[in-house]
Structure 1
Amino acid sequence: MFYLPGFDPREPEVYWGLFRREARLTASRRGEAIVVDDPVRSADGLELAWTVRSRGVATRYALLRWEDIVRARFPQSGWARLRGVPTLLWRLWRSGYAADLRREGWRFSTVIFGVHVIYLMLIGLSLAVAGSLAALAPAVLQPWPWLAVPPLAYAILAGLMRVTRGKPLYVSHLVDDTAFTHAYAAGRAPEVATRLDAFADRIRAAAGEADEVVVVGHSSSSFLGIEVLDRVLSQDPGFGTRGTPVTFVSIGSVIPWLGLDRAAKSFRDALLRFGRARQIGWIDVRAPWDWLSIHGQNPLAACALTPPDLERPAVLGVMINDLITGSDVRRRQWNLFQMHFQLLMASQSTQGFDYLDLMTGPEPVHALASAARKGDDALESACRPGR
């Protein structure tokens, strides 16, 4: 199992801790032992891997690391945001992207553009406060205090960004994530391409060592995972046809966030090629309650491409009540990032979808992809415990 995280600057051990904690919950609720070994960083620093043992199956779970790239772009400097946000918003509005994104994912676009509106309001508030302080200065000092308005407003804005960095607003995170996504679309993130090449080599090598290869792309890695597997196929067109099944699982997907950008021609070409690559299974796990994902229609069609295979991806829809109880839904529903990660956490139900059960159980993931292509009845059967 290869897991590609989203735009997250945290150390990869955080994900191991989350996986171990949630695996214990899944094991206790489903009556199956799940043993998670300690993590080991590879010598080249490319991955953090651990072994999971459950029901007679040993799974090597490797997190492919790019948090150093994220840290170089988040948080941006205040000056970079001040220069970049208006320019980007103007480009996206003028090109029609903003309207396209709203059509394909109105909840997601509401969050993303709403956060940018909040950022612009914080700029206005900072200027207003700094101007008010200048106006309160003694008349004998006027008009010199007004010269201090720009640096004072900049300092106030920096404080406001620190206050709103975390929940519930996540202003700096989402603004900087948006900047990264569109920089990548325009080819202005060359460091990512180098990392994806290294990931592709790692995944390609695993096909000869495992009974099954699964690549999981969460959030922004829903599109990075496609780029990685497209690189693998360009190097080895026979990958996935030599006896080792390969499956891509997109979860919390935001593929149209990138693909609708007219600058993202390279990605759109990769997405179209991957849409034809039937030797690699593709499951799109969709959660209509997740405001930080885009889950309306086929991701190729959402990116204004004609899907070459209408059965790709196989869709697995998960309702929030299948994962957590009503009281927890009320408590967590406005914590957007926690809800965005909910699909990676243990289900409180003993039936239906559970990420930890899927990743550690004896049933191969490619069987779930096949079941999803055959219809809802087969899929429901494949998702039950003890399948």
Structure 2
Amino acid sequence: MQDHGSDRVRKRRVFYIPGYDPIHPRRYRELYRKEGADQAAISGYEIALSPKTSGGPYGWHVNSTQDGAAVEADIEVLVWSDIVRNSMGKSIVATYAQLVRTAATYIFSGALFGLMRLRKGPVIAALYPIFALILQALIGIGIGLALSAIFLRLIPFFTLNWVLCLALTAATLALTLRWFRKHDGKFFAYYLMHDYAFTARWGGSNPPELETRMAEFANRIERAMSEDWDEVLVVGHSSGAHLAVSILADLIRENRLPPSSWQKYPGEELAAGQGGAAPPTLSFLSLGQVVPMVSYLPRATRLRADLAYLATRPEIFWLDVTAPGDGCAFALCDPVAVSGVAPAGQIHPLVISAAFTQTLSTARWRELRWRFFRLHFQYLCAFDRVGEYDYFRITAGPHTLAARFAGRAASKSVITTPANRFTNIT
């Protein structure tokens, strides 16, 4: 493992990149506050939140005492929820058109069949909105036909029966679909359809407005790397993981990191008053990644190139955490290797499991097991059976990510077999 400098952290800057999520980022602050307090009570350390002290549009400050060490962290959410909301502003008819285009993209490109060779859980999650929306339409048609049959019994000899029956069925279908969309917070069919359609529409490449936002994120991370922090930690969750890969690859490829930011000596500490003379350690934590959903598409050349590049770079330490219990993630799939772009000198990522069945008590696992969307966020939450993965020790603890997992081998069941038809890169 590469040495990434001092393993002690007193001040940390965390950049959290959410997945495809239209909700205001205050949700992540409240989730951190509640779950952090729960984990601190379980694990026996202290953690408290206050308003952020650094710049940025949204974030919070953390003070924590763990293992006798006091640590401060500024956590900033890199927001792209406005782009997500704009992509979701579709009519019902437009959403069904998205269904056809998205299904065609994944099926006719062959991406769907490659993905099924990796993990069936996230493929089922991808197929769910398609079948759910079709089922909702069939329910509406079925109710409309039933009402039409009742109408025919009441007025059997009316001249324009068929016209009225057709109108009644169409009106019932429209009302049914509106009801399902209004209650999509329970079904997640429209939400997931928009999510997959957002990726499929561009064939795996990023839309211009997202590329612009990613460049802004890169600027914020670059600025933090020149400030007085011991560690700059980038956390990418779900779709945010592959955005982080490209952002970090850009920063390193364009030589935008401070000189020697990864060449500090083992155990080196900054002297009092030395300020930011030694650059921060740069760390990357990917959680619940869905990289193959993008990298398996034909136009994902940028992402595949960034994966291959980042996998060899000593400037960072990259830890990838997933869990087989998360049906929405490509659990224990090395995102570089399974994408078919693993270079000869690959050193990243270290792929480990959050092992929900071991780190959650039987009662807690029974409570969450079938709440698939909630399990996809478990990486950001408390575990009542303490294991080696602890989001709050990583983001607010006294050790760098590399030091915390030094000597840790990858999980034994890591999947590295490529099943991608498209391995071209630019």
TM-score by length of 2: 0.81
Displacement of 1:222 after TM fit? 0.9
For 1:26-62, what per-residue CA distance to the aligned partner results, in whole angstroms no more than 9, with x for missing partners?
22222222121135895xxx63121111121111111
Aligned counterpart in structure 2 of residue 181 of structure 1, from 196, 199, 207? 199
Contact map agreement 2:106 2:200 (CA 8 A) in 1: no
Corresponding position of 1:36: 49
Distance 1:12 1:220 in 2: 15
Contact map agreement 1:26 1:357 (CA 8 A) in 2: no
Aligned counterpart in structure 2 of residue 221 of structure 1, from 204, 218, 240? 240
Aligned counterpart in structure 2 of residue 251 of structure 1, from 287, 294, 297? 287
For 1:346-379, what per-residue CA distance to the aligned partner results, in whole angstroms no more than 9, with x for missing partners?
1212443211122111111231354336x78xxx
Residue 286 (str. 1) matches residue 296 (str. 2): no
Residue 158 (str. 1) matches residue 191 (str. 2): no
Distance 1:64 1:40 in 2: 16
Secondary structure of the residue that 1:54 maps to in structure 2?
strand
Aligned counterpart in structure 1 of residue 251 of structure 2, from 232, 251, 272? 232
Corresponding position of 2:11: none
Residue 119 (str. 1) matches residue 138 (str. 2): no
User: Which residue identity lines up with residue 235 of structure 1 in the other structure?
Assistant: E
Displacement of 1:95 after TM fit? 1.5
User: Which residue identity lines up with residue 252 of structure 1 in the other structure?
Assistant: G
**CA distance 1:9–1:94, shift in 2 (3 Å):** same
Contact map agreement 1:240 1:246 (CA 8 A) in 2: no
For 1:316-364, what per-residue CA distance to the aligned partner results, in whole angstroms no more than 9, with x for missing partners?
2221144321011111111111111111111212443211122111111
Contact map agreement 1:29 1:348 (CA 8 A) in 2: yes
Residue 354 (str. 1) matches residue 374 (str. 2): no
More deviation in 74-83 or 92-101?
A: 74-83
Question: Which structure features the higher share of helix residues?
Answer: 1
Distance 1:176 1:144 in 2: 34
Corresponding position of 2:35: 22
Displacement of 1:87 after TM fit? 2.2
**CA distance 1:151–1:191, shift in 2 (3 Å):** farther
Residue 64 (str. 1) matches residue 78 (str. 2): yes
Contact map agreement 1:23 1:356 (CA 8 A) in 2: yes
Q: What are the equivalent positions in structure 2 for 1:178-327 lying under 5 Å apart? A: 178-187=196-205, 189-209=207-227, 210-236=229-255, 238=257, 241-242=260-261, 243-327=279-363
Q: What root-mean-square deviation, in Å, do the aligned CA atoms of Structure 1 and Structure 2 show?
A: 2.2
User: Which residue identity lines up with residue 309 of structure 2 in the other structure?
Assistant: R
Secondary structure of the residue that 2:58 maps to in structure 1?
strand
**CA distance 1:84–1:244, shift in 2 (3 Å):** same
Secondary structure of the residue that 1:79 maps to in structure 2?
helix
Residue 95 (str. 1) matches residue 131 (str. 2): no
Secondary structure of the residue that 1:273 maps to in structure 2?
helix
Distance 1:67 1:173 in 2: 13
Distance 1:114 1:57 in 2: 43
Q: What are the equivalent positions in structure 2 for 1:130-141 lying under 5 Å apart? A: 130-137=144-151, 138=155, 139-140=157-158, 141=160
Secondary structure of the residue that 2:233 maps to in structure 1?
strand
User: Which residue identity lines up with residue 99 of structure 2 in the other structure?
Assistant: V
**CA distance 1:241–1:154, shift in 2 (3 Å):** farther
Secondary structure of the residue that 1:299 maps to in structure 2?
coil
For 1:146-175, what per-residue CA distance to the aligned partner results, in whole angstroms no more than 9, with x for missing partners?
145445423321212333x234x4211111
Distance 2:198 2:51 in 1: 32
RCO greater where, 1 or 2, for CA within 8 Å and sep 6 or more?
2
Q: What are the equivalent positions in structure 2 for 1:335-346 lying under 5 Å apart? A: 335-346=371-382
Distance 1:249 1:235 in 2: 21
More deviation in 260-269 or 304-313?
A: 304-313
Displacement of 1:184 after TM fit? 4.5
Contact map agreement 1:50 1:62 (CA 8 A) in 2: yes
**CA distance 1:228–1:184, shift in 2 (3 Å):** farther
User: Which residue identity lines up with residue 71 of structure 2 in the other structure?
Assistant: V
Corresponding position of 1:380: none
User: Which residue identity lines up with residue 61 of structure 2 in the other structure?
Assistant: T
For 1:283-325, what per-residue CA distance to the aligned partner results, in whole angstroms no more than 9, with x for missing partners?
0012111001002432122112234444310122221144321
TM-score by length of 1: 0.89
More deviation in 250-259 or 231-240?
A: 231-240
Displacement of 1:179 after TM fit? 0.8
More deviation in 237-246 or 297-306?
A: 237-246
Max Rg structure: 2
Contact map agreement 2:325 2:357 (CA 8 A) in 1: no
Corresponding position of 1:384: none
Distance 2:146 2:116 in 1: 37
Corresponding position of 1:6: 19
Distance 2:380 2:204 in 1: 30
Distance 1:259 1:176 in 2: 18
User: Which residue identity lines up with residue 124 of structure 2 in the other structure?
Assistant: T
User: Which residue identity lines up with residue 10 of structure 1 in the other structure?
Assistant: I
Distance 1:284 1:186 in 2: 21
Corresponding position of 2:365: 329
Secondary structure of the residue that 1:302 maps to in structure 2?
coil
More deviation in 336-345 or 235-244?
A: 235-244
Displacement of 1:180 after TM fit? 1.2
